[in-house]
A and B are shown apart, each in its own frame.
Chain A
Amino acid sequence: MSTVSGRAKILIVDDDRDLVAALRVAVESAGYDVVSAYDLPSGLEVAGAERPDCIVLDVMMPHATEGFHFVWRLRQQGEPYFRNVPILVMSAIHQKTDLRFYPDSADGTYQAGEFLPVQDFLDKPVDPALLLERIDRTLRLKAGA
């Protein structure tokens, strides 16, 4: 949901506050509003309260794969917003597991029953330019949907 000023709102969820600060600078520089959270409960709370247009999420948070649970719990909520809000996952976890959690499609949607129902995936360490490009693409796909 865009803000009053018409700018898209991005929620960044990561337990690394320094990384959130760096990404906030990058994302704000592209003209988005940024809200942030540092763990699963506050992430769900901020998502519910702020209704961001896109969520940038870290997988590995203090309680192991908290990011996975964030996604599953968010998607389970009844409102269509929670099922559709685009999520970009940041992680280095694919380097040490053969779990496949890339989305099957590249059209900003995910399939029912997919291991991790998210729209996109970014390697850590995150390249800010790439992150902005992906946020832009995700929002465009969402707008066109």
Chain B
Amino acid sequence: MTAEASVLSDLERRTAWFIKLRWLAASTVIGAAALAAGLGLSVPAGYILAVGAGLLVYNTLLWLVARLLSVRPVEQDWASVNSFARLIVPRTFVGLGGEAGVARAALFAFVQITVDFVFLAVLIHYCGGIESPFCVFFVFHVVISSILLSRRATYVQTTVGFLLLAFVVFGEYFGFLKHYPPDAFAVPGAYRNLGIVTARLAVLGATLFLASLLCSTIAVDLRERVRSNVSLLRQLEGAYEKLRESERTKSQYMRKVAHELRGPLGTIETALKVLLQGLGGALTDRSRELIARAERRAGELAAVTQDLLLLARAREAGLDKEEAPVALDPLLAEVIEDFRERAERKGVALKAGDRAGGVVLGDAIALRQLAANLIENGIRYTEPGGSVTLHLSSQGERLALEVEDTGIGIAAEDLPRVFSEFYRAANAREYAAEGTGLGLTIVKAIAERHGGTVVVESNLGRGTRFTVTLPGVHDRPVGAPE
């Protein structure tokens, strides 16, 4: 069952339970009136019977409406639900989906409770007003309202109930409502009168039993919910563990395959190079061309294999690996130096921009790989005369590494996919034949394994900026004890 269906069915189930309770209440009122009449108590039994009968009719109508609502799906969406209905839906349910259905069910419950208050006020009026032992029955509705509706709606209904009670009490006090004295409950020596004792005991008993019914029903429901949550949590934990295990297996498999491929591929590359460099004897032009093609393809395959190994490593790091403090600024300076010659060869300016000190907890080799992949990417897709700039800045508790180039850029439709495995944008493939399509996947995997994120912004033809944010370790120099 979906979360929204669960919330809605929960509310409908409680409303149905509420209607069942009302059958009991109506029967009790009728029974009590008949009993009072039978015992000869001086109560307006006719009126009370009428209240009970009215309650029966009203509850029959509610039962029919509830049945009708249960088969009519809500077509409205939350945005078109009116502001009053929005106020009575418990906030906890908003955001789970299906709020319009929940709002309709909540509105139905709100109407019921309000009308119940009217019935109860009338009943109290005929049973002695402020002297009536039924006054405490308002509590039950307040409890029900607090279960079904928002806190604000409960306060509104409590106020309505209180005002109705006040209307009856002051109506009788000022005389514009007739007072029906509960003589039965006020006779001196009433404890010796079987009728009075029985009636009072019946009211108290009904109060106690109704209270225990309400509370135990809620408690059982809550316990069931806790039980189902615990069971759900266990299932989730199991599923998460399986997912981690499957991720680990996949990664280990990928690493094993890549590792097994790398050795033979290296041998093929070296053997082809021996031939290509003429070390095995003179070659015809056609042979040389074919061997050059084979050597190039072997090189491409070796690059993919190498990147698959790096990706497996990036994904496995953090699963089992111990973390150590890594100072980013010197690490980036080293990576920039590693790429300086390549950038100069292409005529691309490799610059260190803003530099902030900062330490992250992690795997230094992986973080170096992350920076290297971004810089390599920048140099590869930037025309001679352009630039690749690195900025390292502090953003509160996090460190941000920006690698900005003035290269060919990435089309808006390609941006969401640049971190996918083996994906290369069309203009990237056109501009540079080499490239495995795994470099940015590795960057993302490394960033995520370090609790970080990577985002990309780009203007086609004008340049691209990758921003990696990583959680920083503050006030603790590298190597200092924790």
Contacts and interface: CB of A to CB of B under 8 A. Distances in A.
Interface of A: 16, 18-19, 21-23, 25-26, 29-30, 92, 95-98, 124-129, 132
A135 to B, nearest CB: 13
B273 A128 contact: yes
Among all A-B residue pairs, the 6 with the closest Cβ atoms? A125-B266, A22-B271, A29-B279, A125-B269, A19-B267, A26-B279
B73 to A, nearest CB: 58
A18 B365 contact: no
Contacts of A92: 262, 266
A18 B267 contact: yes
A47 B217 CA distance: 87
Interface string B270-281: 110110010110
Nearest to A125: B266
B456 interface: no
Consensus secondary structure, chain A interface: helix
A98 B324 CA distance: 13
Nearest to A58: B263
Given A19-B267, A98-B365, A125 B274 contact: no
B364 A22 contact: no
A22 B267 contact: yes
B265 interface: yes
30 contacts: A18-B264, A18-B267, A19-B266, A19-B270, A19-B271, A22-B267, A22-B271, A23-B274, A25-B279, A26-B279, A29-B279, A29-B280, A92-B262, A92-B266, A96-B309, A96-B313, A96-B365, A124-B266, A125-B265, A125-B266, A126-B266, A126-B270, A127-B270, A127-B273, A128-B270, A128-B273, A128-B274, A128-B279, A129-B277, A132-B279
Interface string B304-334: 0010010001000000000000000000000
Contact of B271 (A18, A29, A124): A18
Interface of B: 262-267, 269-271, 273-274, 277, 279-280, 302, 306, 309, 313, 364-365
B263 A22 contact: no
A16 B265 CA distance: 12
Contacts of B313: 96
A125 B302 contact: yes
Given A22-B267, A96-B313, A128-B274, 4 more contacts: A19-B266, A22-B270, A23-B270, A129-B277
A110 to B, nearest CB: 24
B324 to A, nearest CB: 10
Contacts of A95: 306
Contacts of B306: 95
A19 B277 CA distance: 16
Nearest to A96: B313
A128 B280 CA distance: 11
Nearest to A95: B306
A98 B364 contact: yes
A40 B364 CA distance: 32
Contact of A25 (B262, B267, B280, B365): B280
A127 B265 CA distance: 13
Contacts of B264: 18
Nearest to B369: A95
Nearest to A30: B279
Contact of B274 (A25, A96, A98): A25
Given A25-B279, A29-B280, A16 B263 contact: yes
A95 B310 CA distance: 9
Contacts of A19: 266-267, 270-271
Contacts of A124: 266
Nearest to B309: A96
Contacts of A18: 264, 267, 271
A22 to B, nearest CB: 4
A16 B270 CA distance: 12
A97 B365 CA distance: 8
A34 to B, nearest CB: 12
B276 to A, nearest CB: 9
A23 to B, nearest CB: 7
A26 B274 contact: yes
Nearest to B255: A96
Task: Report which residue of A18, A26, A124, A125 has the largest number of chain B beta carbons within 10 angstroms of its beta carbon.
Answer: A125
A17 to B, nearest CB: 9
A105 B270 CA distance: 27
B65 to A, nearest CB: 70
A22 B277 CA distance: 12
Contacts of B364: 98
A84 B271 CA distance: 30
A16 B277 contact: no
A129 B276 CA distance: 10
Contacts of A29: 279-280
Contact of B270 (A30, A97, A125, A132): A125
A16 B306 CA distance: 19
Contacts of B270: 19, 22-23, 125-128
